[in-house]
Structure 1
C-alpha cells in the first residue's frame, strides 16, 4: 500500500512518514467503508423495517473500521527493523484486540436479536419473554468460550489437553449432579413450553394449590392460601400433571357446590331455590349464568350440584364458604330438608341380670 501512496505523491524517504501515511490511508478507507455501509445496507434495512439487520449493519461499522486500522498498524510496524520477539508479539496483540472487538459485536447483535424475537414472539414460539434470560445466558457463554478459544489459537496455545480435561470433568460433574441437571433441563422446557406463568394458580400432582411467585431454572415457588411458600423442583413438575386454574379461554373458572335434598323434596323447587341463592351471591359471574345439575340418586337423598363461575381462582374458597352458608340458611327458610345418615338400633333382648 505504501508504494501505491508514493506513486500518487512525491515525499522524502522516511520510515516514520511511511507509517503515518499508511495509517492515515487506512483511516480514510475505514471511513469510506463505514459511510458506504451506512448509506446502502443500513439505509435499506431501515427502509424495509428490518430492525435486526439495521442493528447489525449499524454495529458492524465499528469493528470493520477498527480491523482496517489494525491491519494498517501491523503493516506500519513491519516497516521497522524490530527484534524477532517483537515481530512475533505484535501480530498476536493486534489479533487479540481484533478478536475482542468482533466478539463484542457478535455479543451485542445476538442479545439484540434475541430480545427482538422474544418481544415479537407468536404463540408457541420457542424464544419468548419467559425464555429470554436462558437464551441470553447460553449465547453469552458460547460467545465467550469461542472468543477464548480463538485467543488461545492466536497465541499458539495447545487446547487439546484443556479440552480433554474439560471432557473428563464434565462427565464426572454430570454423574455427580444428575438431579440438579435434571431440574435445570426441566426448567428449560418449562420456560419454553410455558404451562403456567407468574401469578397463575396451579395444582400439582401432590395436591398443593397456590399462586406461582417465581419460575427459575431449578425450581418453581408456589404461595399457598396458608401464606406458605412451597419450593418445588422443576423435575417433579415436568414429570407430573399440572392443573392451571388461571389458564383456558379466560381467567374465569367454574366452581362446584354439592348438596343433597331428601327424597320427599320437589326436585324442581330445590333447583329453583339453588338458583335464587346463587343470584344473591355478589362474587359470582352472571355470564355464564349459574346452573344446577341433578347428578345421582344418593343413599340418603337426591344429589344436586350448583355450578357457578368466578372471576379469579383466588376467591374460590371464599365463594364456596359463602354459598354453603347461604344454601344452609335458604333451605331452612324454605323447609327443604338436607338429609343425613340415620341409624336405627334394635335391641332383640335385654341382658339378664344377677338379681333375677
Structure 2
C-alpha cells in the first residue's frame, strides 16, 4: 500500500507538471529578461531595450561590475538624470540606463533607478568585504567545519538507515523464509540501497553548494554552471503535437515509469507470496498469474501515464514503426526470447519447480522471466538459459504432468552365480529403500550375457526426480553390502591366454632346409657359420675362461 500511495502521488504531480508545461511557441521561448549578477548573486533583472536585448544588456553590466570589483577600490553608485531616462554610474563610469520596460509595477523609472542603485551599492560593498583576508579565513574555517560534519553525517545516515528505515520497510513488507519471496527480498534490498545512496548524495550536494557559496570565485563559477545547467534542462528538446518537453519533463516521466515497473513487481511478488501461496496453487500457476498481472499493470500504467502527461498516443505511431523495424533487425534475438517466454508461460512445457534436463545441464526451474529462465543445478549453481532454447531443443521434463519418474541401474554378476539369489537381493534392496515407490513395483530385468558378467537392470520409480543422484548412490551402497552378505561376486573384465605346443620347439623339414641354405649363402660371402649355429649356445656363466 505504501508504494501505491507513492506512485499515486507521483502521478498527481506528473499531471500537474504536464498541464503547466508551456507550449512550443516562439513568444514563450524568446527571452525577455536577463539577470544582473555579482559574484554569483542575482541583483535584479533587466529587460530588452531599443538597442540591445536583455541578455546583451546583462552581459555588459556584469562585465563592468566584475572589472570594478577586481580593482578593489571603493565604489559609489549614483543616479543621474539623462535627457529622458535616469542612468546609473559607478564613480565616474557609466553603467546603464533604466528604461520604461525595466520599471516594475507601481514604480516610476526614477524610483526604480534609485532602488537598483541601492542594491548595486550593497552588493559591491559585500563583494569587497568578501575579498578581505579576515573574511576568507572565517569562510575557510566554516568550510572545514561543515566538511567534518558531513563525514560524521555520512556515517550516521548509514547507521540510522540500517537500524530504523530498513526495519520500517520490512514492516511494511514482511517477508517469510520461503524461496518464493526471494525476489521480493531482493527488491526491498534494492530500494533500501537506492534510498541510502540518495540520502548520502543529497547530503554531499548540499555540502558542496554551501562551501561553494562561501567564496566569491566558487560562487560565481557555481552560478555560471547552474545557469548553463538550468538552460539545458529547461529548454524544449522534443515536441509531440503542440507541446514541447524538456529534459526535466523526460526525467520525471522516466522516473514515474521506473516507479511503475518497480511497483508492479512488488505487487506481483506480494500477490504470489501472500495470496496465491496461501490458496494452495502450484508454483507454476503462481508464476503464470503473477507475471501476467505484472505485464497487464505495466501496459495499463504506461498508457495512463502518457495520457496524463498529455502525449497523444497517435503521434507515437512513427516511433512505434521505427521501433518495430529496429526489433526486427537489431533485437530479433531479444524479441524471439520474449515471445518464447510468453509461450512458456501459457503453454507450460516447464513450470517453476520442475526438474528438467536440457543439453548437458540438469536442474530445477527457479524462475521463468520475460527473456530468460533461471535453472538451479544439482550443484546449487544458477544457470540463465534463453527462453528460445526450451522450444528449439529437446527438453526432458521429469515433472511434466506426473512427477513419478523411472530410474535404471545396470548391475553385472559373475558367471556361475545363482541368478535367482541375485534377483531377490536386488528386489530386497529396492523395497527397503524409502525413496523407492512401491507402485509401480521395482523390477529386475535380465538383459543378457556379457563378456565377463551376467547383466541385469534394476528398474525403480521415484517421486523426487531431482534427488535421483542421491537415490542411485544409496542403492549402489546397499547393493554392494547385500552382495557381500550373500556371497554374490561382481566380476571385473579379464582375459586368459592359452599357448599350445611342445618345448623345445620342433622345426619342420622345410624350415630347416631354408635355414641351411641361408647359412651356406653366408659362408660363400665371407661369413663363418656351421651347423652348430642351429644349436642353442651355452650360457656365458657356465663356460670356463
Please tell me the TM-score bracket, short chain as reference.
0.5 to 0.7
Q: 1:131 to 1:280 in 2, by over 3 A?
A: closer
Once the two structures are superposed, the pairs formed by residues 314-329 of structure 1 within 5 Å of their partners are: 314-329=466-481
Q: How many angstroms does 1:277 deviate by?
A: 2.2
The counterpart of 1:333, out of the listed 473, 482, 485, is 485
CA RMSD of aligned residues (A): 3.6
Residue 261 (structure 1) aligns with = 413
**1:256-297: CA deviation from partner (whole Å, max 9, x where unpaired):** 111012232222221111112223323322233222111222
Write the distance in 2 (CA, Å) between the matches of 1:282 and 1:161. 66
TM-score, normalised relative to structure 1: 0.54
Q: 1:184 to 1:261 in 2, by over 3 A?
A: same
Write the distance in 1 (CA, Å) between the matches of 2:421 and 2:488. 9
The counterpart of 2:385, out of the listed 232, 236, 240, is 232
Write the distance in 2 (CA, Å) between the matches of 1:129 and 1:201. 17
Write the distance in 2 (CA, Å) between the matches of 1:159 and 1:275. 71
Write the distance in 1 (CA, Å) between the matches of 2:299 and 2:448. 62
Contact 2:287 2:352 in 1 (8 A): no
Write the distance in 2 (CA, Å) between the matches of 1:209 and 1:158. 49
Larger CA Rg, structure 1 vs 2: 2
Q: 1:167 to 1:227 in 2, by over 3 A?
A: same
Write the distance in 1 (CA, Å) between the matches of 2:302 and 2:435. 57
Q: How many angstroms does 1:148 deviate by?
A: 8.2
Write the distance in 1 (CA, Å) between the matches of 2:294 and 2:435. 44
Q: 2:343 aligned with 1:189, yes or no?
A: yes
**1:230-262: CA deviation from partner (whole Å, max 9, x where unpaired):** 11111111211221112333x332221110122
Residue 325 (structure 2) aligns with = 171
Q: 1:278 to 1:138 in 2, by over 3 A?
A: closer
Residue 362 (structure 2) aligns with = 209
Unaligned 5+ segments in structure 1 are: 1-114, 120-127
Write the distance in 1 (CA, Å) between the matches of 2:292 and 2:431. 50
Residue 167 (structure 2) aligns with = none
Q: Secondary structure at the match of 2:434?
A: coil
Write the distance in 2 (CA, Å) between the matches of 1:135 and 1:325. 47
Q: How many angstroms does 1:337 deviate by?
A: 1.9
Contact 1:252 1:311 in 2 (8 A): yes
Q: How many angstroms does 1:145 deviate by?
A: 7.2
Q: Secondary structure at the match of 1:173?
A: helix
Contact 2:327 2:335 in 1 (8 A): no
Contact 1:130 1:192 in 2 (8 A): no
Write the distance in 1 (CA, Å) between the matches of 2:381 and 2:442. 33
Q: Secondary structure at the match of 1:247?
A: coil
Write the distance in 2 (CA, Å) between the matches of 1:316 and 1:140. 41
Contact 1:221 1:230 in 2 (8 A): yes
Write the distance in 2 (CA, Å) between the matches of 1:262 and 1:285. 29
Once the two structures are superposed, the pairs formed by residues 56-71 of structure 1 within 5 Å of their partners are: none
Once the two structures are superposed, the pairs formed by residues 119-134 of structure 1 within 5 Å of their partners are: 129-133=286-290
Q: How many angstroms does 1:321 deviate by?
A: 0.9
Q: How many angstroms does 1:326 deviate by?
A: 1.5
Q: How many angstroms does 1:180 deviate by?
A: 0.8
Write the distance in 2 (CA, Å) between the matches of 1:260 and 1:278. 16
Q: How many angstroms does 1:197 deviate by?
A: 1.6
Once the two structures are superposed, the pairs formed by residues 1-356 of structure 1 within 5 Å of their partners are: 129-133=286-290, 135-136=292-293, 139-140=296-297, 143=300, 162-204=316-358, 206-249=359-402, 251-344=403-496
Number of residue pairs aligned between Structure 1 and Structure 2: 227
Contact 1:134 1:188 in 2 (8 A): no
Write the distance in 2 (CA, Å) between the matches of 1:198 and 1:159. 37
**1:72-93: CA deviation from partner (whole Å, max 9, x where unpaired):** xxxxxxxxxxxxxxxxxxxxxx
Contact 2:353 2:366 in 1 (8 A): yes
Q: How many angstroms does 1:336 deviate by?
A: 1.6
Q: 1:333 to 1:289 in 2, by over 3 A?
A: same
Write the distance in 1 (CA, Å) between the matches of 2:435 and 2:331. 49
Write the distance in 1 (CA, Å) between the matches of 2:430 and 2:288. 43
Contact 1:202 1:246 in 2 (8 A): yes
Q: Secondary structure at the match of 1:131?
A: helix
